[in-house]
Structure 1
């Protein structure tokens, strides 16, 4: 009998431990940085900035615990399951500036199906860390491959990087696309083509606002 993965010890994704977190030190560091950049932290608009910055970074870099709930594949469904347009935001590990976009995540089921919202939660869990998009893509794919024992896994991320659009090259509106395929989605051209077609059919960029 296939074990109930929802009750398996590895079926919970818990927050990464940060035993070294020191709020007072972090706030002092932000204040020192602002002063070193030539800004007056006694200014009314900057007085509480160190606390706000630390709180914001803490929120963006702390994933929420959740259960990776799965169900028996009683109907023996054997086609690709895809959740498109999962919005995410992460912080570039090189500049600590945001990159944001959408993820298309899918799998070819084996004995188990996963609750669809959990695919979005896996994306969010790994995005809440200093990241590079390539590593984030692989981490999501590997997480699903390990926990779901699927026949195949596919992940495509499309994101705009603020560190590229607001500084450096200053090229706004560009999109970086990364992908990771495992199992039958890596070896079966028809499965992979279906995944890419489903993910790429909508040309809108839903993370943008007018």
Structure 2
């Protein structure tokens, strides 16, 4: 069966910080049509599906990730695993935010859609463990040499920061870019920068068309210790 192509508006002409479209669905075809154009979904459970391509875009060069002195002790504390339990991790993100009443866009529909992308080898998790228990991490999607970050979680101090640092250490050698989507203080602390949307879309088109440089994300060697 041929993939269905979803025709999204040109993100170059999208509002700077407002959705460029609404509707569609969370099928693999729709999500891949969006991401391939530099567009991602972001909406609350009481809203229709909203699609975004903000200007500027938050990005992180893995070679420039900041490892603050205060974070270094935690690099030894957590064991990082790639794709060990994607479904468990995304559902944990969902349940923690629901329990803490933080408001979350990770609905049951979202968790299932991205879990299907994980089954297809597109979505990936970076999980931090302490004494065998999940302490936090992050998940995202890989297109060529771009890691599109989606959500981060820390159940224990700095677990998500350690996950991001280890991800950067691994991806730096493959000349990746991490798409952080929208800047916040946490990302800025880690070294993320803002890039004009036009520049981002051109760079994304180039990098996403390249080979990642590895066979399986789960098999990549993850550093241990400082």
Query: Which TM-score bucket, shorter chain as reference?
Result: under 0.3
Larger radius of gyration: 1
TM-score by length of structure 2 reads 0.22
Higher relative contact order (CA 8 A, sep 6+): 2
